Structure 1
């Protein structure tokens, strides 16, 4: 027995619109951050900032939603709008990878390596801190 594809969540236009709206806003904030936050000693601080803030906020958001119940209805809508959409648009793995490669190729290896490894480690720690924060704030 097969499932009707139209019943799958990713085939529902309303849910796709939530991701689109959130992604548009998140991407706009990321672009504005990159324009406003200066590069410091060749390190793209804007990309670093959005990725680290995004990791923390995604940890908070997803844990808070899990603690409140199943991923259905309004919780799913919030996850798609803010998690997949806004925070997915805010953060950027591809730009991080490209900037890391450029730092490794074009400058002191220590700077590129510190940026690449530091971003990943700090992102993991901040995501964990976000999860812990959501657990602490649990209603």
Structure 2
């Protein structure tokens, strides 16, 4: 394995730390993921009202916030473990950052062009909203 695109917690949790000994930390991260828990609507409706309310209270934004906080804890712990095991960490060169921005710009342009085919009339508005939410969470 020459390289991998993972947050540090995944390097540890996927047991890649024996193979990946050098890490480049991209400011602001390089990718993100969505996680979700799904329940069959019919099964949900058969639950008692009290159980439905308990699930709704603990899911949605509350679940997302707790999951994200746990992810942050695991990522920090993984970095400490990797550093403690002698892994090397680097900052990206300006050329690499410029290339990442260039690829991102091209990808977003392609997504905006394809968006209407998938029912997204204004993909740029979606991206702007997403980026604004990230800025709010960083505070």
Instruction: Using structure 1 for the length normalisation, give the TM-score.
Output: 0.29
Q: Decide which structure has greater strand share.
A: 2
Instruction: Using structure 2 for the length normalisation, give the TM-score.
Output: 0.29
Q: Decide which structure has greater helix share.
A: 1
